[in-house]
Structure 1
Amino acid sequence: MPQQPPVRRTPAPPSRPDASMSLLTNVMDHSLDDGYAEAAARRTAGGKGLPGKLRAKLGLAAALLLAALVVTLGAAQARISAPTLAKERQQLINRIESETSTADSLQKNVDGLRDSVSATQREALHKRGGDKAELVSLLAGATAVHGPGLKVVVDDAKQARTSGGGPRESSGFSDTGRVRDRDMQRVVNGLWQSGAEAISINGQRLTALSAIRAAGDAILVDNRPLVPPYTVLAVGNGKRMNTTFQDSADGQYLHVLEQNYGVRAAISVEDDIRLPAAPSLIVRTARAQQGNTGKGTS
Structure 2
Amino acid sequence: MKKLIKMTLIVALLPLILLGCNQSSTSSIKLTEVTRSLFYAPQYVALEKGYFEEEGLDVELQTTWGGDKTMTALLSDGADIALVGSETSIYVYAQNSKDPVINFAQLTQTDGTFLVAKEPKPDFVWEDLKGSTFLGQRKGGMPQMVGEFVLKNHGIDPKNDLDLQQNIDFANIPGAFVSGDAEYVQLFEPTASTFEKEGNGHIVASFGEESGNVPYTVFMTKQSYLDENEEEVQKFTRAVYKAQQWVEENSAEEIASVIKPYFEDTELDLLASSIERYKGQQSFATNPILDKEEWDNLKAIMEEAGELPADIPYEDLVNTTIAEEIIND
TM-score band (shorter)? under 0.3
Bigger-Rg structure (1/2): 1
> Could you tell me the TM-score, scaled by structure 1's length?
0.21
The answer to which structure, 1 or 2, has the higher relative contact order (CA under 8 A, 6+ apart) is 2
